[in-house]
């Protein structure tokens, strides 16, 4: 066991031991019927149905989500010609020009400075466009759908963010985040195909300088919001699409569900409708203070947010993040969810509301249990074949199952459960 492995073991051990004991009791008790996946699916079926033309149109649009368009955009944006899309470089400009040309061909209206698509700030340039809503009473409310288009540049651009691998001196950022940009463009293309349109407007944004510390989104929120933040029904950041956080896992994540009321149910319903899983999870899943993508400044400003992503793959932030790491079917799986959630929120009578100081939700336990089971199915695939790791993860999965079988029902239990979930995630991020 090397030093790094020993450190990981001790972290996992501490995480596990920290909340060992009374979590839901050692004996599984009968589930609260309202919390099982089966009954949640039934609830979801009841909640979503093409009862008016707008949902029907959204579902028709889903059929037009064009995988080949997504792939073509991914290949262009992750090409060496884009030089790693570093902000304030020729490569960043080339990526921006390409994105703007796509928005124009998709019929998106410019929403940047001086009648154009660009919103310039000190460290870069965001790209903003609008798809107007069709309901006069709701068209001044927006669902903001976004992805950052910048990445780490090259090993010779003097910025020091990209390390060469052999002769490969360009960090193409195919998964991070050419995939998200391609996904949002494909979403616009699909929703555009609806003749009914959406009731609320869409604000489509491609952020710059995310990799330098969320600078584009922070500028937008703090200095230059196009419309009052209160007019945003929701804000989505699509960041890293089509990768696998753990080999064998085809699911993705919708982070930040804890900070809004109303989006979680929509995502559950969409999961049930599509039969594939995007886990609705809390901001804790993005590590540390949850500030790892452009949703963060919006969440801090009280806007309901979701960070849609598949999670970092082993090539994250390396020169090996090339197009082949993005699996087309997995990317389309996540984007189908984003398209339907966008359509639901753009059409729903009620808007999500912001939740300040959220309580831990049992959905986190489902996601962590399933990730743990995926690791246990082939521990060597993630380098955790040491029996000590396997035993710790088995214990962790068992305790999560206890919480699922007997969800926290008092403030004290919620506190204990929340600490347990956070301790696991802290251990995972220490490991990453």
User: At its nearest, how many Å lie between Zn ion and the CB of residue 210?
Assistant: 6
Plot region of 278 (φ>0 → left; ψ -120 to 50 → alpha; else → beta): beta
User: At its nearest, how many Å lie between Zn ion and the CB of residue 301?
Assistant: 20
User: At its nearest, how many Å lie between Zn ion and the CB of residue 176?
Assistant: 4
Q: Does 318 bind Zn ion (CB under 5 A)?
A: no
Query: Which residue number, 176 or 321, has a Cβ lying nearer to Zn ion?
Result: 176
Query: Which residue number, 238 or 392, has a Cβ lying nearer to Zn ion?
Result: 238
> Which of residues 71, 134, 155, 177 is near Zn ion by CB under 5 A?
177
Query: Which residue number, 59 or 159, has a Cβ lying nearer to Zn ion?
Result: 159
Query: Which residue number, 141 or 239, has a Cβ lying nearer to Zn ion?
Result: 239
Q: Does 294 bind Zn ion (CB under 5 A)?
A: no
Span from 87-95, 236-244, 252-260, 405-413 in contact with Zn ion (CB under 5 A): 236-244
Span from 159-167, 170-178, 316-324, 348-356 in contact with Zn ion (CB under 5 A): 170-178
User: At its nearest, how many Å lie between Zn ion and the CB of residue 331?
Assistant: 15
Span from 98-106, 153-161, 215-223, 239-247 in contact with Zn ion (CB under 5 A): 239-247
Query: Which residue number, 77 or 272, has a Cβ lying nearer to Zn ion?
Result: 77
Span from 130-138, 231-239, 353-361, 362-370 in contact with Zn ion (CB under 5 A): 231-239
Query: Which residue number, 176 or 402, has a Cβ lying nearer to Zn ion?
Result: 176
The three state secondary structure string of the chain is CCHHHHHHHHHHHHHHHHCCCCCCCCCCCCCCHHHCHHHHHHHHHHHCCCCCHHHHHHHHHHCCCCHHHHHHHHHHHCCHHHHHHCCCCHHHHHHHHHHHHHHHHCCCEECCHHHCCEEEECCEEEEEEEECCCCCCCCCCEEEEEEECCCCCECCCCCCCCCCECCECECCCHHHHHHHHHHHHHHHHHHHCCCCCCCCEEEEEEECCCCCCCHHHHHHHHCCCCCCHHHEEEEEEECCCCCCCCCCCCCEEEECHHHEECHHHHHHHHHHHHCCCEEEECHHHHCCCCCCCCHHHHHHCCCCEEEEECCCCCCCCCCCCCHHHCCHHHHHHHHHHHHHHHHHHHHCCCCCEECCCCCCCCHHHHHHHHHHHHHHHCHHHHCCCCHHHHHHHHHHHHHHHHHHHCCCCCHHHHHHHHHHHHHHHHHHHHHC
Query: Which residue number, 239 or 405, has a Cβ lying nearer to Zn ion?
Result: 239
Name the token pair of 249. Answer: 């896992």
Span from 60-68, 108-116, 232-240, 386-394 in contact with Zn ion (CB under 5 A): 232-240
User: At its nearest, how many Å lie between Zn ion and the CB of residue 161?
Assistant: 12
Distances (CA, A) of 361 to 41, 150, 202, 251, 365: 17, 33, 29, 19, 8
Span from 57-65, 113-121, 177-185, 228-236 in contact with Zn ion (CB under 5 A): 177-185
User: At its nearest, how many Å lie between Zn ion and the CB of residue 211?
Assistant: 7
Q: Does 239 bind Zn ion (CB under 5 A)?
A: yes
User: At its nearest, how many Å lie between Zn ion and the CB of residue 269?
Assistant: 27
User: At its nearest, how many Å lie between Zn ion and the CB of residue 293?
Assistant: 6
Site size for Zn ion (CB under 5 A)? 3
Q: Does 176 bind Zn ion (CB under 5 A)?
A: yes
User: At its nearest, how many Å lie between Zn ion and the CB of residue 147?
Assistant: 8
User: At its nearest, how many Å lie between Zn ion and the CB of residue 220?
Assistant: 16
Contact at 8 Å (CB) between 378 and 247? Answer: yes
Name the token pair of 11. Answer: 């972290």
Span from 21-29, 109-117, 174-182, 353-361 in contact with Zn ion (CB under 5 A): 174-182
- In the complex, the residues that contact Zn ion under the rule CB under 5 A are 176-177, 239
């Amino acid at each position: 066991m090397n030093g790094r492995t020993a450190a990981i073991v001790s972290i996992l051990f501490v995480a596990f031991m920290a909340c060992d004991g009374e979590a839901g009791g050692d004996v599984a008790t009968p589930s609260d019927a309202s919390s099982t996946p089966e009954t949640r699916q039934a609830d979801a079926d009841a909640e979503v149905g093409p009862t008016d033309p707008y949902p029907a149109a959204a579902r028709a649009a889903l059929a037009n989500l064009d995988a080949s368009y997504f792939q073509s955009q991914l290949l262009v944006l992750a090409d060496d010609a884009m030089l790693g899309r570093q902000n304030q470089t020729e490569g960043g400009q080339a990526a921006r020009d390409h994105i703007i040309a796509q928005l124009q061909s998709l019929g998106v209206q410019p929403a940047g400075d001086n009648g154009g698509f660009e919103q310039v700030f000190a460290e870069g340039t965001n790209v903003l466009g609008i798809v107007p809503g069709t309901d006069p009473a709701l068209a001044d409310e927006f669902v903001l759908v976004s992805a950052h288009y910048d990445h780490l540049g090259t090993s010779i651009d003097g910025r020091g963010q990209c390390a060469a691998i052999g002769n490969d001196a360009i960090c193409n950022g195919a998964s991070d985040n050419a995939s998200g940009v391609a996904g949002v463009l494909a979403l616009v293309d699909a929703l555009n195909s609806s003749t009914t349109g959406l009731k609320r407007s869409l604000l489509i944004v491609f952020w710059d300088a995310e990799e330098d510390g969320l600078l584009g989104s922070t500028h937008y929120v703090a200095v230059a919001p196009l419309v009052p933040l209160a007019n945003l029904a929701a804000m989505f950041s699509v960041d890293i699409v089509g990768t696998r956080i753990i080999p064998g896992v085809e699911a993705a994540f919708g982070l930040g569900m804890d900070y809004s009321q109303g989006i979680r149910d929509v995502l559950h319903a969409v999961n049930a409708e599509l039969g594939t899983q995007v886990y609705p999870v809390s901001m804790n899943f993005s590590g540390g203070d949850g500030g790892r993508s452009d949703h963060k400044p919006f969440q801090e400003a009280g806007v309901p947010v979701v960070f849609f992503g598949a999670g970092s793959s082993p090539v994250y932030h390396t020169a090996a993040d090339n197009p082949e790491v993005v699996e087309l079917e997995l990317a389309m799986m996540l984007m189908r969810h984003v398209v339907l959630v966008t359509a639901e929120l753009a059409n729903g009578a009620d808007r999500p509301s912001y939740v300040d100081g959220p309580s831990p939700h049992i959905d986190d336990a489902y996601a962590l249990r399933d990730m743990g089971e995926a690791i246990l199915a082939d521990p060597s695939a993630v380098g955790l074949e040491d029996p000590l790791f396997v035993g710790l993860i088995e214990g962790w999965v068992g305790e999560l199952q206890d919480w699922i079988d007997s969800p926290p029902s008092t403030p004290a239990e919620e506190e204990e459960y929340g600490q347990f979930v956070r301790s696991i995630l802290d251990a995972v991020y220490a490991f990453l």
